[in-house]
Amino acid sequence: MKIWIEKQTALIDFTLASLARRKVKNFGLLLVYMLIVFLLASVMLYTSALRREAAQVLKNSPEVIVQRMVAGRHDLIPPGYLERLGRIRGVQKKEGRLWGYYYDAVVKANYTFMVPTAGAVAAGKVADGKIVVGAAVARERGLVPGNLISFRSYSGRQFSFAVADVLPHEAELVSADLLLLSEADYRAFFQIPAGHYTDIALSVANPQEVRNIAAKLAETLPDSRPILREEVLRTYESIFNWREGIVLVLLSGSILAFAIFAWEKASGLSAEEKREIGILKAIGWETGDVLKMKFWEGALISLTAFLLGYIAAYLHVFRFSAALFEPVLKGWAVLYPRFELVPAVDGFQVATLFFFTVFPYTVATIVPIWRAAITDPDAVMRS
Amino acid sequence: MIKLTNIRKAYNQGRENEFWALDGINLEIEAQRVTALCGPSGSGKTTLLTIVGCLARPTSGRVHLKERDISGLPERFLTEIRRSTFGFVFQQFNLIKGLSARDNVMLPAYPLGGDWRALHDRAETLLDSLKLGHRRDARVEWLSGGEQQRVAIARAMINDPQVVIADEPTANLDTALSREFLAILENLKEQGKTILLTSHDPLVIESTVVDTVVNLRDGRLVRGA
């Protein structure tokens, strides 16, 4: 074992000395290689962190949301619906929710007005005439707690609210455009009569029963549609997958260019390299030794590029909020949420990226060398 | 030490351009002596060297190294014998450009493993003994022809071989450097090394260092030359 390690160390030593001889060429290759790993890893890390973030945020959302449909469009829940739902077995808790959209012409952005559900942290801070705003809204309108803000309702009436608080920065991914207000203010602002709700949130005692309950709901209230939490999660997944795909398609040109460049570099063997292999064989290197040396050469370049590229991507995503891809991957909006993703590395994803970058390069380095290394050692005597 | 029996070597065998470089060579190379293979270009000197040095296999015939028949061994075993028994000094020196003199000297020992520090010291001692210590860190392409040859000799000696094989060692050297080479040869002989070289340089052939001169022509030994 000791001899094996010494042998590998000697081969790596030679490989490093050998690589240092073509500094500019190898450094250029390393740089391009690193850039590709960086781009791919950035997209993967960012979308995976976004997905995780969305799942984390939705973890506490209700299992089922019931919306009433009129002519295929979402409509208000009329009085009496809440009571009818209570009779469905398995429903633990039901709550009418009030929310709606409001276009603010000042910043040309849409806000989500919402009455916090009972028990929500922000609920305690909301009172008549007092609102709690999302971080992006606060940023755009320059609001701090204590400020007054006016909105002109769809009825033409002017409403003024005092900002009681700004929602925490951590929840910005889903609350950037949120504005929480009291039920009375909400109903007055949107002119929604008492007993009507935007939709109904249901808690289910047994999560396994969610689909059965959804089926019962469809029977009890044929004019409504149940939306399951898992469906919302799946939609988020698809959106991020789709965006990841778009970025990858855009990147595919550069990836392909690199693949051709790397393949050409790795597989093309110069006359000088062939001569060197001949010399090594003549002075006592076995074909296997030459292959091992070249393996180390490919592995050192690709591993270094992989590690540096991945670390750079990690810093880019989790330290600098993925500044390069933010607009595409986060979504299109006037109110961009500002948030820092929780650093997380998915082992499977690392392995996939490793397999598709380090492995092909190393193989591309070895194959032509193998062809050159099996030539007769006496060729060097005749050169 | 090395016994060649009826050695024949063909290139492009079975094709139109088939060529027999060696045709029935019987030769015994004595241990701890200097043997020079002499003859015009195309006489088969280098081919014979490659067969003795396990760089190539004969088409037919037997090669015995200290009573062991090595002519039919597979490449892996031949490499092992080549590494441990022979040291090569090539006509064009065949050093690896871009590497220092010391790195070049250490090269044949890399596949053996062993302590790197000890190998490093051994390479420096060899370079010192060949009066090249001051150039150990210089890239080989910066060295003069004589210096490059001494690096090649040091490289041939790194694994402490019993036999040193040199192909036209003075072909690229002027008279002064050729004499220096002969002095090194004498020193190696005193160390007990067996030396086999090819040359058609009279300075080498007529030197007192050379014990036996073997003449070749058209792939055959020329008797009584």
Domains of chain B with bracketed CATH:
2-221 (3.40.50.300)
Q: What integer pLDDT is reported at residue B152 of this predicted model?
A: 93
Three-state secondary-structure class, residue A217? helix
Three-state secondary-structure class, residue B26? strand
Find the closest chain A residue to B120 by CA distance. A10
Amino acid code (one letter) for A99 = W
Q: What integer pLDDT is reported at residue A206 of this predicted model?
A: 82
Average pLDDT for residues A196-224, to the nearest whole number?
Answer: 85
pLDDT tier, A380 (very low <50, low <70, confident <90, very high otherwise): low
Q: What integer pLDDT is reported at residue B110 of this predicted model?
A: 87
Q: What integer pLDDT is reported at residue A339 of this predicted model?
A: 62
Q: How far is B223 from chain A (nearest CA, A)?
A: 26
What would the pLDDT profile of A12-65 be if each residue is shown by its tens digit? 888 888 888 888 888 888 888 898 889 888 888 888 887 787 777 777 778 888
What would the pLDDT profile of A285-301 be if each residue is shown by its tens digit? 888 888 888 888 888 88
The CA–CA distances, whole Å, from A116 to A81, A98, A275 equal 20, 8, 76
- Its ipTM equals 0.88
Phi (first) and psi of residue A149, to 5 degrees: -140, 140
| A208 CB-side CA count, 13 A | 0
Does the beta carbon of B167 lie under 8 angstroms from any beta carbon of chain A? Answer: yes
A161's tokens? 């609210």
| Positive or negative torsion for Cα B99, B100, B105, B109 | negative
Element of type H or E holding A372 = helix A347-373
Cβ <8 Å between A279 and B96? yes
Cβ <8 Å between A279 and B83? no
Counting DSSP H helices and E strands in chain B, the numbers are 7, 10
> Across all residues in chain A, what is the average pLDDT?
82
Regions in chain B scoring below 50 on pLDDT:
225
Q: What integer pLDDT is reported at residue B3 of this predicted model?
A: 92
What is the Cα–Cα distance from A106 to B112, expressed in whole angstroms?
A: 77
Amino acid code (one letter) for A171 = A
Helices (H), chain B: 45-52, 75-85, 101-106, 116-129, 145-157, 175-190, 202-205
- The answer on pLDDT for A333 being more than 70 is no
Of residues B108, B119, B167, nearest to A381 (C-beta): B167
B69's tokens? 């028949």
Domain ranges of chain A: 2-58+235-382, 64-228
What would the pLDDT profile of A72-106 be if each residue is shown by its tens digit? 898 999 988 888 777 777 788 888 999 999 998 88
Instruction: Report angle CA A272, A278, A284 to the nearest 5 degrees.
Output: 140
Does the beta carbon of B49 lie under 8 angstroms from any beta carbon of chain A? Answer: yes
> Would you tell me how many other CB atoms lie within 10 Å of the CB of residue A77?
22
Regarding pTM above 0.80, the answer is no
Does the beta carbon of A1 lie under 8 angstroms from any beta carbon of chain B? Answer: no
Choose from A14-18, A167-171, A335-339, A373-377 the range with maximum mean pLDDT. A14-18
Mutate to test the interface with B, among A16, A18, A381, A382 (most CBs of B within 10 A): A381
Q: A64-228 domain in CATH 3.40.710.10?
A: no
Phi (first) and psi of residue A118, to 5 degrees: -60, 135
What is the Cα–Cα distance from B161 to B82, expressed in whole angstroms?
A: 9
With contacts defined as CB-CB under 8 Å, which chain B residues touch A278? 94
Of the candidates B71, B50, B4, the one whose C-alpha atom is nearest the C-alpha of residue B166 is B50
